[in-house]
Amino acid sequence: MVTEQQARVSIETTYERLATAWAVGDATAIGSLLASDCDHKTLGAAGQVKRGRTALVESWADAFSRRCPDFSVRLQPSLHAVRLLGNNLALVDGNLDYTSGVGPRGTTQRPHTQPFSAIMTLSDAEWLMLSIRVGGSQRPD
C-alpha cells in the first residue's frame, strides 16, 4: 500500500521529468510520462481536448518544432496537493509555472502560470498522467 507521502515524492519526480523533457523539447520523453489512454483538456474559451498518448505526443512535437534556436523559457511545475483516491490513483493539483525568456518564435515572453489538476495512475512503480485539466495562462501575482 502506497502512502500519500510516498505517492507525492514519486509524482514530484514525474513532474520533474516533465520539466526536463519540456526544456529540451523532447515530446517522446513526455509521452513516456503519460498513460496510453491519457487525455488533456485546456479549460476556457478554446477548450481543446486531446485523447491518447499518440495524439498528445504529436501535439507537443508540433509545438516544439516551432521553437527558435534561442528558446529559453523553462517550465517549473509546483504541486499544491496530492490526494490518493485508491491504491493506484491520485488527484494532483498544482501550477505549471513558466519563466520569462525567449519564446517559441523568438519573442520575449514574460513569466506566466497555468493551474492544473491531474489524475495520476500508478503503473509498475511509476506514476503516469491519466487525465489532465489545464486552466488559462495567468501572470503571477
Q: Can you list the domains of the chain with their CATH numbers?
A: 4-134 (3.10.450.50)
pLDDT-derived band of residue 45, with 50, 70 and 90 as boundaries? low
Calculate mean pLDDT across residues 99-119: 92
Burial class of residue 98, CB neighbours in 10 A (0-12, 13-18, 19+): buried
**Which of 5-9, 26-30, 38-42 holds the top average pLDDT?**
26-30
State yes or no: pLDDT of 87 exceeds 90.
Answer: no
Q: What is the pTM (predicted TM-score) of this model?
A: 0.90
Whole-number pLDDT of residue 83: 95
Residues 6 or more apart whose CB falls under 8 angstroms from that of 68 comprise 102, 104, 105, 106
